Amino acid sequence: MTNTKISLETSRDWLVKLVTSETFIYIIKRLLQALLTVFLASALSFFIMKLSPGNYVDTLRQNPKISPERIEEITRQFGLDKSWPEQFGFWLKQIVTKGDFGTSFVYQRSVSSLLWERVPATLFLAIASLIITWAIAIPLGILAAVKQNRLTDQVLQVLSYAGQGIPSFITVLFLLFFAQLTTPLFPVGNMTSIDHAELTWLGKILDIAWHSILPLIALSVTSFAGLQRIMRGQLLDVLRQDYIQTARAKGLPENRVIYVHALRNAINPLITLLGFELAGLLSGAFITEYFFNWPGLGKLTLQAVLAKDQYLVMASLVMSAVLLIIGNLIADLILKAADPRIKLEDLN
């Protein structure tokens, strides 16, 4: 009985510390702010869709095989005969009460089911690109700073300027041309092969990885170039600080000065950019997914916009906003873990 009482008291103390901790309060605050952000994003996307000329029913009217009676039935089915505020209010009510984002006009399916099918493919592409970009750009940025104004630095500078200067769609087109020249070495189209279901679990992983090589390169080039330059600039700035000169004067090894003292402070601004980097990759995935026929959220959203599939467009943009918010929140928490001196309240 005594042990049980002690255990309950310990659990209660731990819970109190958790609820009153700076990190927990910050997360709750950010989530509450996120609700307002998501609401504004959904409202903005809805009214932009409505202000654009035409709608899904207008495209049906151009088909002589569809009777006016059927068009009227479809209009009532999707609530398009109601006023704008009524349509938006009904959509929000369905989300809050039932978790229902509506039905896709084109696919005649639940929007939620369509999103759950496509989001994993986009997240895989974005997160894999993020890992590859950081794994390559950070070491090369450090190397460029250490070798400042030498041949290595100059070559890396040229590559970074070229990477940032070439538009994403040009990179994609070049990779498609390269894939055509090397066919069937690099597969283009979809994220799996025709016989994917018959492969072993290892074969399935390798199949997806092989299909994602060119899309990952296309998505990573611009991000890599920018991140490498930022890393170089930040490290050079830190290396000029007085405390770094003091550490060198004390006779510390150069590797320790760079990788322990300088890098820790130089990396903080890059961690702050992590959330925006994820958002940039998600938006850049639209182009990549379209050209490489990658079955992700970007391609689905683009098709929905062209078809005036308003509930699918709104849900897709809301999902993108949620992913952006989560990315920024994770970046802030990583920054706090990397440098405990930083107060989370100062990151708002």
| CA–CA dist 158, 228 (Å, integer) | 12
Nearest to 191 by CA among 176, 204, 178: 204
The overall average pLDDT reported for the chain is 79
| CA–CA dist 199, 193 (Å, integer) | 10
Three-state helix/strand/coil letters over the chain: CHHHHHHHHHHHHHHHHHHHCHHHHHHHHHHHHHHHHHHHHHHHHHHHHHHCCCCHHHHHHCCCCCCHHHHHHHHHHCCCCCCHHHHHHHHHHHHHHHCCCCECCCCCCEHHHHHHHHHHHHHHHHHHHHHHHHHHHHHHHHHHHHCCCCHHHHHHHHHHHHHHHCCHHHHHHHHHHHHHHHCCCCCCCCCCCCCHHHCCHHHHHHHHHHHCHHHHHHHHHHHHHHHHHHHHHHHHHHHCCHHHHHHHHCCCCHHHHHHHHHHHHHCHHHHHCHHHHHHHHHHHHHHHHHHCCCCCHHHHHHHHHHCCCHHHHHHHHHHHHHHHHHHHHHHHHHHHHHCCCCCHHHHC
For the cut 70, the answer to whether the pLDDT of residue 281 exceeds it is no
Angle of CA points 176, 296, 208, to nearest 5° = 65
Beta-carbon count within 10 A of 72 CB? 12
Mean pLDDT in residue range 22-26: 73
| CA–CA dist 90, 261 (Å, integer) | 56
Both tokens assigned to 261: 């003292």
Query: With contact defined as beta carbons under 8 Å apart, do 284 and 222 qualify?
Result: yes
Q: Per-residue confidence at 344, pLDDT binned at 50, 70, 90?
A: low
pLDDT tens, position by position, 101-120: 888 888 888 888 888 888 88
Both tokens assigned to 122: 């986009």
Mean pLDDT in residue range 8-33: 63
Angle of CA points 277, 172, 226, to nearest 5° = 30
Query: With contact defined as beta carbons under 8 Å apart, do 87 and 80 qualify?
Result: yes
Q: Per-residue confidence at 13, pLDDT binned at 50, 70, 90?
A: low
What does the pLDDT read at residue 18? 44
What does the pLDDT read at residue 15? 45
Among residues of the chain, what percentage have pLDDT more than 90? 0
Query: With contact defined as beta carbons under 8 Å apart, do 199 and 209 qualify?
Result: no
Both tokens assigned to 23: 């990190």
pLDDT tens, position by position, 213-269: 888 888 888 778 888 888 888 888 888 888 888 887 887 787 888 877 788 778 877
pLDDT tens, position by position, 54-89: 777 777 777 777 778 887 887 887 777 788 888 888
For the cut 80, the answer to whether the pLDDT of residue 277 exceeds it is no
Compute the residue count for the chain.
348
- CB hemisphere CA count around 287 (13 angstroms): 18
Q: How far is CA 74 from CA 58, 63, 106, 108, 311, in A?
A: 11, 14, 12, 11, 14
Q: How far is CA 155 from CA 133, 161, 162, 178, 222, in A?
A: 18, 10, 11, 23, 16
